[in-house]
Structure 1
């Protein structure tokens, strides 16, 4: 493939790499993916790939960033007053439908992705995340009587990830639990439990009228 020279060509090439890596991840476990595989699926030389991303972790961190940006944009449109806690929780649950890629990547964020990138790349991601959460937090404070919108969002993030990882168990084990009445309490319906836990959390943050 010819070398990208203009800024537009370079951005298109970057997006192509992200799309190719994501498609590869849909069929190949993350641990088995190599930069050579990504380069081949992108029709690039391996050296060219490293001009865009220094590591597999940095590449997938960028994929996560694009997924988060789409999610944040949806929430920014939805977080408009007047807003009740029940409405907010429903919006949150609905917004996570069909976002398995994002949730899977978020579950890898601390232990895999951030652990494998440079401090500079990690800080750049955190600064971007802080900016986006501040925007959402401000909207949340206007829509609900909460004092610290970013803190609410961080608590919701912890709730989302805890429930997602608890509910995301191997299919064979899930089927085994379903046939054992004593263990069925360990089966977690992600969206149902998220609504319950998130509503309790948001109500706990409400300022007195």
Structure 2
């Protein structure tokens, strides 16, 4: 695409979206550490100089991409959950795990978010990201409050944090690379890589039952 000077805010948003789309394409095709601004510029047909008019680092781009993934997951969870699933915790667990499992890019990015992306982002870009993240979590809290009306905010926050931490740890073990698969096959390990949705649903059900029991004792 030929580069044209941006004259309106709408045009700037279009350029940012083009940069994000190019970054996502690369992210889906190669390891994060191999993605460079030069590759992103080439994917968009921008020069690196033109790219720097909109972003200053790879991490800045992927903060934006990560937020898109967070918002997409939040919207899908809201659409999938019934308003009150207190009496059918197993169904809630299966639904939650299934929806999260349908967002592998979210899982990949959040596994990098706290250890790589945020650590290499500027404060100027990280603060707005944190604010938007907090707003998304506030909306998710509301969704969970409708699903489990008896839960207080502390219980909801414990659930959100627990499931996120577990998902981040579980996902890499359920999506091995070809070389990891081959290494297991050629080693003496009798190991079967777990299914993400199945394992995650089991964890979610255990966690919800534990939190529900604690909540019931308080009331």
Query: Given that residues 57 and 117 in structure 1 are in contact (C-alpha distance below 8 angstroms), is that contact kept between their aligned partners in structure 2?
Result: yes
Q: How does 1:160-171 map to 2 (within 5 A)?
A: 160-171=167-178
Residue of structure 2 equivalent to 1:174: 181
* 2:204 partner SS: helix
Query: Residues of 1 paired with 2:166 and 2:45: CA distance?
Result: 40
For residues 146-167 of structure 1, the C-alpha deviation after alignment (integer angstroms, 9 at most, x for no partner) is 2232331111101111111232
Which segments of 5 or more consecutive residues in structure 2 lack a partner in the other structure?
none
Query: Given that residues 57 and 114 in structure 1 are in contact (C-alpha distance below 8 angstroms), is that contact kept between their aligned partners in structure 2?
Result: yes
* 1:4 partner SS: coil
Task: Assess, with a 3 A threshold, how the Cα gap between structure 1 residues 107 and 152 changes in structure 2: closer, same or farther.
Answer: same
Which segments of 5 or more consecutive residues in structure 1 lack a partner in the other structure?
none
Query: Given that residues 147 and 205 in structure 1 are in contact (C-alpha distance below 8 angstroms), is that contact kept between their aligned partners in structure 2?
Result: no
Query: Given that residues 136 and 150 in structure 1 are in contact (C-alpha distance below 8 angstroms), is that contact kept between their aligned partners in structure 2?
Result: no
Residue of structure 2 equivalent to 1:190: 196
Query: Residues of 1 paired with 2:35 and 2:183: CA distance?
Result: 31
Match of 2:152 among 147, 155, 159: 147
Query: Residues of 1 paired with 2:152 and 2:81: CA distance?
Result: 15
Query: Residues of 1 paired with 2:210 and 2:135: CA distance?
Result: 25
Query: Given that residues 101 and 196 in structure 2 are in contact (C-alpha distance below 8 angstroms), is that contact kept between their aligned partners in structure 1?
Result: no
* 1:166 partner SS: helix
Query: Given that residues 177 and 187 in structure 1 are in contact (C-alpha distance below 8 angstroms), is that contact kept between their aligned partners in structure 2?
Result: no
Task: Assess, with a 3 A threshold, how the Cα gap between structure 1 residues 27 and 167 changes in structure 2: closer, same or farther.
Answer: closer
Query: Residues of 1 paired with 2:145 and 2:133: CA distance?
Result: 18
Q: TM-score, normalised by structure 1?
A: 0.89
Query: Residues of 2 paired with 1:187 and 1:86: CA distance?
Result: 23
> Which is bigger in relative contact order (C-alpha 8 A, separation at least 6)?
2
Q: For the aligned residues, what is the CA RMSD? A: 2.1
Tell me the number of residue pairs that the alignment of Structure 1 and Structure 2 aligns.
208
Match of 2:70 among 65, 68, 71: 68
Q: Displacement, 1:129?
A: 1.1
Q: Indicate whether 1:11 and 2:3 are aligned.
A: no
Q: TM-score, normalised by structure 2?
A: 0.85
